Structure 1
Amino acid sequence: MELAGFRQSEAARVLDGLKEDIRSREAEITELRSQVASAERQMQIERATYGDLARQVKALSNENAGLREDLAFFQSLMAAGGKEGSVTINRFRVRPEALPGEYRYRLLLVQTGQRVKEFQGTLQFVLNLEQGDRKYVLMLPQEGERDVRDYQISFKFFQRVEGTFKVAPEAVVKSLQIRVFENGSVAPKLSQTVTVS
């Protein structure tokens, strides 16, 4: 049938062709959406894997650094040369704790050389502090109190020393010096200073 030069059968065929074209394009869009979703999932997996690998690399680097420190420690411990009974300070670290004015220290004392006898002595800390415009020095334990048990040391090969100390909450520790005194001596056998950041 033809109406005003328009054939109904041809229009139906064109309409069917357009409908088929729409279905084909919708299927293509669905397939592309599926591919995009798959690519996004893959990218999330890769990001998670990269994050895990980055964390593992950092952990392994830290572990490697610790192992190197341990190796250096054991090499110094096993060294047969040197003065009889000489003592060294290793891994001396100080860091602020969560509470204002509280600090944690950690160090390792090692007796090198022939280690004929056990080293016995005491520790003393000299803190350089700033509080506002004022700079001052604080000694722990206080002068005359060197026999305080927390500061006594006794070891043949090595001794790990760690603890905390408190200063005024508004005071800032700029540096800390450790002094190692052998029993019976008024002068330190050795000392080492660290800057506190």
Structure 2
Amino acid sequence: MTAVKGSKQYKLEVVPYRPVWRWTIRLTFVALAAIAVAVAHWYATKEALRFQQAALQERDQFERALADSRAEVERLQQEVANLRLGSEVDKVASEDVRNEVIDLKAQIAELQEDISFYRGLMAPNAEAQGLTIGSLNLLSTGVDRHYRYKLVVQQFATNHKLLTGSLNFTIVGRQNDLPMSLALKDVSATVDAMDIRLGFKYFQNIEGEMVLPQGFEPIRIEISARVRGAKPATVEKKFGWLVEER
């Protein structure tokens, strides 16, 4: 065969045709992929069950603590009643007992709120299912215009799945008698974006410290949370500016 001048000649190599070997390799890769998917599904299911069991155990602990606190309150109330029946009651001791009763009642109220929260997560009603903006607490730090905040965002569902999205936290008020709104990133050193990232199955706490600028008078807080995915949703809620003292 005459070669064309200047063209490059390549060597040819004959390899055996093995269709069974090729299909064996392909089926092996498919089997390995199927095994990897099965292992990932098993692990994800195991982790979800473990987290749910931990939440149920924590709820049971709160219920036991609530029962113990109620029993203690009844005992102290009976003690106060007995002291009042006596003719010689030490007023200081009685005042201490009453204060202890008040503290225990406050603890019971807090425990009842926690139990309601966990019950709602585990067994929500039909109307409450989905993304929910929960409680917002503002606490004075003792320093002028410095406050601690804690916001709870939660998912009420019978079958919890990972929710992803974002949240906007806006403080509405007035500056020099003019309307003004501040994003949380403008007053909190721990927040660096307007859209706060959300990613949770049961609930997510957003907390930190904020410092309001001089001359700004807060009126309310507006929260807007958005969920991405197959069923996108937006939830909004407004809170009055109510600060708890230390």
| Shift of residue 168, structure 1, vs aligned partner | 0.6
Could you say which residue in structure 1 is the equivalent of 2:119?
75
Q: Deviations over 1:162-193 (max 9, x none)?
A: 112222122121111112122479x9721211
- CA gap 1:119/1:174 in 2 versus in 1, 3 angstroms: same
Shift of 1:118: 0.8
Residue 100 of structure 2 corresponds to residue 56 of structure 1: yes
How do 1:1-197 and structure 2 match up within 5 A?
46-79=90-123, 82=126, 86-141=130-185, 145-146=193-194, 151-183=196-228, 189-197=234-242
Aligned residue type for 1:172: E
The AA in structure 1 aligned to 2:226 is F
Q: Structure with the greater relative contact order (CA < 8 A, sep ≥ 6): 1 or 2?
A: 1
Q: May I ask how many residue pairs the two structures share in their alignment?
A: 150
SS of equivalent to 1:73 = helix
- CA offset at residue 156 of structure 1? 0.7
Q: Deviations over 1:82-121 (max 9, x none)?
A: 4897111222122443333323211222211134421122
Where do 4+ consecutive residues of structure 1 move more than 3 Å?
80-85, 144-147
**Partner of 1:160: helix, strand, or coil?**
strand
Q: C-alpha root-mean-square deviation of aligned residues, in Å?
A: 3.0
Cα distance in 1, alignment partners of residues 225 and 234 from structure 2: 6
Q: Report the secondary structure of 1:98's partner residue.
A: coil
Letter of the aligned partner of 2:98 in structure 1? Answer: A
Unpaired runs of 5+ residues, structure 1, are 1-41
Letter in 2 for 1:181: R
Deviation, 1:73, is 0.5
Q: Once the two structures are superposed, what CA deviation does each residue of 1:109-150 show, in whole Å capped at 9, x if it has no partner?
A: 2211134421122221111122332221122347x9445xxx
Q: Separation in 1 of the partners of 2:102 and 2:148?
A: 24
TM-score w.r.t. structure 2 length?
0.52
The answer to which structure has the higher helix fraction is 2
CA separation in 1, counterparts of 2:136 and 2:113? 12
Equivalents in 2 of 1:104, 1:141: separation in Å? Answer: 14
**Residues 80 and 136 of structure 1, relative CA distance in 2, 3 Å threshold:** closer
Q: Distance in 1 between matches of 2:213 and 2:205?
A: 27
CA distance in 2, matches of 1:165, 1:106: 11
C-alpha distance in 2 between matches for 1:83 and 1:56: 39
Q: Secondary structure at the match of 1:189?
A: strand
